[in-house]
């Protein structure tokens, strides 16, 4: 895999601007670009993992507190 144009365009000096760096204009594009771009794939996996962690965090606390009784 290689980098897409958005990832290849990332530069530290652009990340430091007040407006930041617009990686993709539409978050839905990440689903498509993650298939061919290593960095987009990493970003997508991190977002997916964050979503799973937030979704199950409450369940985990309920489960662990009920087991300690």
pLDDT in tens, 32-65: 999 999 999 999 998 888 776 666 555 544 444 4
Predicted TM-score (pTM) of the model is 0.65
Within the chain, residue ranges assigned H as helices are 5-8, 12-15, 29-33, 38-67
Q: What separation in angstroms does the CA of 29 have from each of 4, 23, 26, 54? A: 11, 10, 6, 23
Q: Where are the domains of the chain?
A: 5-67
């Amino acid at each position: 895999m290689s980098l897409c144009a958005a990832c290849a365009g990332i530069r530290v000096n652009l990340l430091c601007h007040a407006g930041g760096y617009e990686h993709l204009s539409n978050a839905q594009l990440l689903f498509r670009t993650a298939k061919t771009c290593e960095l987009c794939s990493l970003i997508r996996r991190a977002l997916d993992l964050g979503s799973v962690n937030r979704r199950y965090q409450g369940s985990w606390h309920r489960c662990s507190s009920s087991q300690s009784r």
